[in-house]
Homo-oligomer: A and B are copies of this chain.
Amino acid sequence: MDKQLINYLQLFRPITIADGNIIAGYFKPQVFKEGDFLFEGDKVAREMFFVCKGVVRIGTVNDKGTEVTHIFYNENHLCSILQSFNDEVHTASFIQACCDTEVLSISKSKLLELYQQLPYLKELIDQLNQLNLIRKVNTRNAYLGEDAETQYRIFTMQHPDIALRVPLKDIASYLGITPQSLSRIRKNIK
């Protein structure tokens, strides 16, 4: 699992074996079953996760009491509630496993320690977070002005693996429609 993280980082910057071992030492493997919460919300998010296997989602409950999914993260993605993690402010968002999931986790305090040992890592992680944010924005922009069926088609194109692995209700909450509507849409498409 550690290797997977290092391989991922290597895509953006060469990392020596020695440094790779240091980094690996700071991350802790964790396993979650479908439906488990990696982070429950309504507090400061002090953990950053790297998804090794499975899919997680960041979501929240809106004013009407319905769950909405902001984003999914599958394998080889860093996942955190960025604003809360950076600024140490409370967040209403949660992180939940959408299927059986394995992650590497690191607390903010440990991450800061790690930055002290390997200062270039801060720059790297910042860069990765920016890439993540841009991708998130672009993905959402693609849905703008499309009807629900088109949005679902776009989703299955952009995230075919996620579409197959996560519950229908999570996808519906990601698209902002009811599970019934999504079920109907799937039927129409077939």
Which A positions have Cβ atoms within 8 angstroms of B?
60, 62, 64, 66, 68-70, 82-83, 126, 129-130, 133-134, 136-138, 140-141, 143-146, 173, 176
A126 to chain B: which residues have CB within 8 Å? 126, 130
**Copies of this chain per assembly:** 2
Which listed residue (B68, B137, B141, B173) contacts A133, Cβ 8 A?
Answer: B137
What B residues does A129 contact at CB under 8 A?
130
- Cβ contacts under 8 Å, A83 to chain B: 134, 138
Question: For the complex, what is the distance from the CA of A137 to the CA of B83, rounded to whole Å?
Answer: 10
Min C-beta distance of A45 to chain B, whole Å = 13
CA distance A141 to B92 in the complex (A): 12
22 of the cross-chain contacts (CB-CB < 8 Å) are A62-B144, A62-B145, A64-B145, A66-B145, A68-B141, A68-B144, A69-B144, A70-B144, A82-B134, A83-B134, A126-B126, A129-B130, A130-B130, A130-B133, A136-B137, A137-B140, A140-B140, A143-B176, A144-B176, A145-B173, A145-B176, A146-B176
